[in-house]
Amino acid sequence: MVADLARTWGARILQPVARFFGNLGLTANALTVFGFFLTAAVAAVLATGRTQLAGLLLIFSLGFDAVDGTLARLTDTTSRFGAFLDSTLDRWAEIAIYLALIWLFLTLNDDRGVLLAAAALSASLMVSYTRARAEGIGVACKEGMLTRFERLVILIVGLIFNLTPWALGIIAALATVTAVQRILVTWQLTAATKK
């Protein structure tokens, strides 16, 4: 996945940044919460119609999003609650971005934009939900072409180049495919373990 490649290449940058925050006495969970509020602030900018600025700010937000996990690993403070908190706030942050877009399209009387943003939000949440439910029954399921990282990259490109409806359509379609992929993978793995 693109997300895995980005983590590998970004490690050299993320580790010094994570150490800097660790030296300030901040914990990984504190960075997770701060990252959520940072994305919420970007959503507020997006809701005002400054889409290109929001896209640029999301680049920074996306980079910051990986710092908490890096800090947890560097300080050996990874925990189940930390993973839960990170995933939960990631979903809320994503919801905030799409709700900002829905609000923006409503103010512009753009019904198509509203539908595309709602479809992208719904499909994105289903990607996360299928993974969570699979893990809930003991199946590791990270497969799929469009993780949160890829969805945000597509959205950022759409915002910066004024192609937001196209980006939302791509996200809605490919996130739906990803959710179906995870359903099929989980079906195959559970069927294989039947006695």
Could you list the active site residues? 90
CA dihedral defined by 116, 118, 121, 127, rounded to 10 degrees?
A: -80
Q: DSSP strand E in 20-152: where?
A: none
Query: Which helix (DSSP H) or strand (DSSP E) does residue 11 occupy?
Result: helix 2-23
Classified as helix, coil or strand, 145 is coil
Name the residue among 147, 135, 141 with its Cα closest to residue 177: 147
Query: Which helix (DSSP H) or strand (DSSP E) does residue 67 occupy?
Result: helix 67-74
Name the residue among 100, 105, 95, 106 with its Cα closest to residue 46: 100
Dist. CA 117–CA 104, nearest whole Å:
10
